[in-house]
Structure 1
Amino acid sequence: MEWLISLLTLTVLEIVLGIDNIIFITILTDKLPKADRLRIQRIGLILALAFRVGLLLSISWLMGLTQPAFGLMGWEPSAKDLVLLAGGLFLLAKTTSELHSKVNHLEHSGSKNPHTQDNGSDEDSSKILASTKAKASKRRMATGIIIQIILIDLVFSFDSILTAVGLSDQIQVMIAAVVISMIVMLLMADSIGQFIQKQPSLQILALSFLMLIGFMLLIEGFHFEVPKGYLYFALAFSTSVELLRQRFERKQPRQ
């Protein structure tokens, strides 16, 4: 019976810890066509599952990563700390870039020049060239997104698995919890993605949440522990306030 309680606890914990992974993948794939978006979201979550199972099967190596790697003026970071620091910096840089892109998109939407003229037959060749360039650009974008997903999957996998190891000593239970949680997240990913994509304000909120996670990873890399419960409570509270605000605006009489 003890193993069942451990399994349920770990599964719920892995789902909660995986929400930030889903949000990050959703934000990254937002610019892709819907068919590619769903495919790459699934690839990202399957890679996350593979990383987690691989780390669980290498627990002795993983626990060795918590030992100091070197010393520098009294600071003795482990390999895990360095991964958290690198992941935190990457997440901060990426979310800042995405926030800047979102704000610029809102500022410049509708700014296209309406006085463009038709150039006759030149337009056909321009369209063909533009189509070829667009396909090549889409392939490069998809490849870049997959690489970024792999990098952040590594960081989130370390965090997730080290938490799991602290709660259970049965490898089979941990693997089962990771697999079940990933199946649940694969089923939830599309719904969460569509919900976030329809709400620009929630996209900004999600990016702000990811920026907070990046900052938290940096802090953890310097051995300052921040209870994750506070972080997820802040996310739930701010999301609830935003949804209430949207509902209030919808009920307001139109002027």
Structure 2
Amino acid sequence: MRIYKAANYNEMSRMAANILSAQVILKPASVLGLATGSTPLGTYKQLIEWYEKGDIDFSEVTSINLDEYIGLSSTHEQSYHHFMHENFFDHINIKPGNIHLPDGTATDLEKECKDYDALISDTGGIDLQLLGIGTDGHIGFNEPSDAFEPLTHVVNLTDSTIKSNTRFFTDEEDVPKSAITVGIKTIMQAKKILMIVNGKNKADILKEALYGCITPALPASILQLHPDFTVIGDEEAFSSL
């Protein structure tokens, strides 16, 4: 485990972007596991800036997103499809056919989960997985549970996750109550994992995830076992350490 403390959110984002860009420069055909939410926005913004300067080329990159809400079409403004295109994909030269997210509107969700796992396997696996962490310790939408879910699956979101995501919707009632998410085994099979964390509200759960017991009740704790795991956080996120 490697831990880097940044002074603030902007510095954290630049440090994370440095690691992602180095991955792509060293291996242009990298498979990147990508995350949504407010935390990686600065990282994506920095990568776009470097792309526009000609410093990085995404033309051979394949992206695998962690999750998607069930019931939201790809054009819905709060879908993760829309989020990724608006905040990243539409501003770089990644090929549309190399962009992959689960389909939250699939009629057969069990088949969609199996197909998504097969797709990841067919790419050769994820070279670098970008993660955030929820206030309850979830990664992707792998919520606290009695067991680690290994593969892509449908999950009912916890009240804390729904409440946290309300800020993106008009009303809490509008927040989807379930999602498709890549499983813990798939995340752990990534060759490298990069977690970014900011804010005082993540400080206590980050401490438990990094130094507490490894338990499915705190999904991020499993990352302690990964052989190439890097954490970058701002001062507030590390304030409990």
Shorter-chain TM-score above 0.5: no
Higher relative contact order (CA 8 A, sep 6+): 1
Bigger share in helix: 1
Q: State the structure with more CA Rg.
A: 1
**TM-score, normalised to structure 2's length?**
0.25
Relative to its length, the structure with more strand (as a share) is 2
Structure-1-length-normalised TM-score: 0.24
